[in-house]
């Protein structure tokens, strides 16, 4: 079986979301995928083609004002060229986000990603974890400590840098990467001539 190709299409305003993108990358690579990081605010024609050739695309953005960043929205609108031909039909999709608040309307960003994926005819991969940190015996160091099912969610204080992204949130993003790569392996990959 071919190695699954996973691309992470993301925007990071201050570096926190980039830490999560690297974590998704690490998890997917650990699970045996060929993985590519693509910054959507400087995407090239070659990177669009890389997305077209991927088995799975993981969307990532900080949550600003209750939704994905403006730079990610520009990328999403530009993807309409792929929508016309349903070029991403049946690819796998997943997502991750970060915000300063514990909730911070992160779910809305993940739902935006889900709708984008649905418009492209993609198949959404959820986080696949029970919520953590929700009982007296639980800990803030649990995977999925924020209790989000749709994708990987992180919280980082607004007055601290990317080096302070919570280790549990990084581990949760790594889990998402492994899950995406594992799912892509189970479903099989396209031949090099397909897109």
DSSP assignment string, 45-113: HHHHHHHHT-SEEEEEEEEETTEE-HHHHHHHHHTHHHHHHTTTTT-EEEEEEEESSSSTTHHHHHHHH
Q: How far is CA 36 from CA 8, 47, 56, 104, in A?
A: 6, 9, 11, 28
pTM: 0.95
Helix (H, G, I), strand (E, B) or coil at 124: strand
Q: Report how far residue 103's alpha carbon sits from residue 112's, in angstroms, rounded to the nearest whole number.
A: 16
Chain CA centroid to CA 50, Å: 16
**CB neighbours (10 Å) of residue 86?**
12
Contact 74, 23 (CB under 8 A): no
**CB neighbours (10 Å) of residue 30?**
13
Q: Report how far residue 166's alpha carbon sits from residue 172's, in angstroms, rounded to the nearest whole number.
A: 10
Structural tokens at position 58: 């993981």
- pLDDT tens, per residue, the chain with 195 residues: 689 999 999 999 999 999 999 999 999 999 999 999 999 999 999 999 999 999 999 999 999 999 999 999 999 999 999 999 999 999 999 999 999 999 989 999 999 999 999 999 999 999 999 999 999 999 999 999 999 999 999 999 999 999 999 999 999 999 999 999 999 999 876 544 444
Burial class of residue 94 in the structure, from the number of CB atoms within 10 Å of its CB (0-12 exposed, 13-18 middle, 19+ buried): buried
């Amino acid at each position: 079986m071919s190695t699954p190709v996973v691309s992470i299409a993301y925007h990071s305003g201050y570096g926190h979301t980039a830490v999560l993108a690297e974590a998704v990358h690490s998890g997917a690579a650990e699970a045996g995928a060929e993985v590519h990081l693509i910054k959507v605010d400087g995407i090239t024609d070659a990177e669009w083609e890389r997305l077209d050739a991927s088995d799975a695309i993981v969307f990532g953005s900080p949550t600003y004002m209750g939704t994905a960043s403006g730079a990610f929205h520009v990328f999403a609108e530009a993807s309409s060229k792929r929508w016309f031909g349903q070029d991403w039909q049946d690819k796998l999709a997943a997502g991750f986000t970060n915000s300063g608040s514990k909730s911070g309307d992160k779910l809305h960003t993940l739902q935006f990603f889900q709708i984008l994926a649905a418009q492209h005819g993609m198949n959404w991969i959820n986080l696949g974890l029970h919520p953590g940190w929700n009982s007296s015996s639980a800990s803030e160091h649990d995977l999925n400590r924020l209790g989000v099912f749709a994708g990987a969610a992180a919280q980082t204080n607004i007055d601290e840098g990317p080096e302070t992204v919570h280790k549990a949130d990084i581990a949760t993003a790594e889990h998402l990467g492994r899950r995406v790569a594992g799912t892509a392996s189970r479903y099989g990959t396209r031949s090099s001539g397909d897109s």
